Structures are given as C-alpha cells and as structure tokens.
Amino acid sequence: MSRIGKKPVELPSGVSASVSGQTIEVKGPKGTQSFTATDDVTLVVEDNVIKVTPRGMSKRARQQWGMSRTVVANMVHGVQNTFKKELEIQGVGYRAALQGKVLKLNLGYSHDVDFEIPDGITITCPKQTEIVVEGHDPQQVGQVAANIRDWRRPEPYKGKGIRYKGEYIFQKEGKKK
C-alpha cells in the first residue's frame, strides 16, 4: 500500500478541478495545469478532494498510484503558488545579469553564456551572484536550475562555480610539497 497515494489531495479555496477520462485539469488564480494519468490509476474529484486509487495491485499500478498523487498535489500547489530554486555563484569575476528574456552568465569562459529563459519560468537576479528560478511546474523549475548549474558546476578544490543555495561542497585538500 502506498502511504503517499492513500492521502487525498484537498483543494483550497479558489482552486477547482475537473476529470475527463484519465485527464485532470486544475484551475487556480495563477493559471491552469493538466495531467493525463496512466490506465493503472483512477482519478476522482468529490467534495473538494481529489482521490487517486490504483486499478489493481500490480507493481506498475502501485508505482503509478503514488507518482500520480504527487503530480496532482504539485499541480494544486502550482496553480496557487510558485515553486522556487535559488542558485549562488561563487568565484572571482563570476556574475549573472538579466537582459530581457536572456540570462547572461559570466563564468570565466572566453565568452559570456547566454541562457534563453523558457516559457512558464521567471528568473530574477537580486544580486550579481544570486539567481532565483520560479515557476508553476516543479519539474520544469528543477530542470532549468540544473541546466544553469551545468554551465559551471562547483569544483571540489576552491568551490568555484554555480551551486544551489545551502548546498555543501566537500572541499578536497590540494597537492602538498
């Protein structure tokens, strides 16, 4: 039995959901999101609660049960609030700046890195060494933050690079004479 899947997803005020077949659509003050579940689970909306139940007890049905419930819960949260990832840039001369729909990163390469901001994502730079990625889809927010981080991952000797806020980088000891 899935501990996550058993919990019903409650709809807060201002958020509505409708099911047609295997597709659920959630509407809220910040927009609309939809998700098509596999045939292994059943989605039901009743009394401001969304319930996800498996259609059998096969391994795949139990896997889809918990995953589908989490996706629906993230959709309900996403149409009301935003998901956020914060990145820090460390290194001499490393900085970020926003120019329209392009994030310009100066990361020690011979050229600036131009990162196109995808639709549905908002990026802000409160400081030159901080990047905040926000959006309504947690998967897309995490993927964009990971793509930005991949331009210069933190290295283990000096810790230079782009890291998630609060991320611990294990420092290696350098060469000794």
Q: What pLDDT, in 10s, does the model give residues 49-87?
A: 999 999 999 999 999 999 999 999 999 999 999 999 999
pLDDT at 96: 96
pLDDT for residue 134: 96
β-sheet with 9-10: strand ranges across: 9-10, 49-54, 41-46
Residues 32 and 91 in one domain: no
- Structurally, the chain folds into a number of domains equal to 2
Q: Which two tokens stand for residue 43?
A: 């989605």
In a domain, 175, yes or no: no
Q: Are residues 10 and 60 in the same domain?
A: yes
Q: What CATH number corresponds to the domain at position 10?
A: 3.90.930.12
Q: Which residues of the chain have pLDDT under 70?
A: 1
pLDDT at 1: 64
Amino acid 174: pLDDT: 86
User: Quick check: is 169 in a domain?
Assistant: no
Same domain for 95 and 40?
Answer: no
Q: Kindly report the length of the chain.
A: 177
62 and 107 share one domain: no
Residue 30 pLDDT: 87
Q: Specify if 25 maps to a domain.
A: yes
Q: 15 is written with which tokens?
A: 């958020």
For residue 132, list its beta bridge partners: 86, 124
Q: Are residues 69 and 127 in the same domain?
A: no
Q: What is the pLDDT of residue 176?
A: 86
The pLDDT value recorded for residue 126 is: 95
In this predicted structure, what is the pLDDT of residue 84? Answer: 96
**How crowded is residue 88: how many other Cβ atoms within 10 Å of its Cβ?**
16
Rg (CA), the chain: 21
pTM, 2 dp = 0.86
Q: Does 114 share its domain with 147?
A: yes
**Domain boundary, last residue among 59, 78, 97:** 78
Q: Are residues 34 and 90 in the same domain?
A: no
Residue 174 belongs to a domain: no
Please tell me whether residues 139 and 123 are part of one structural domain.
Answer: yes
Residues 45, 63 share a domain: yes
Instruction: Give the structural domain span for 45.
Output: 3-78
- Asked whether residue 176 is assigned to any structural domain, the reply reads no
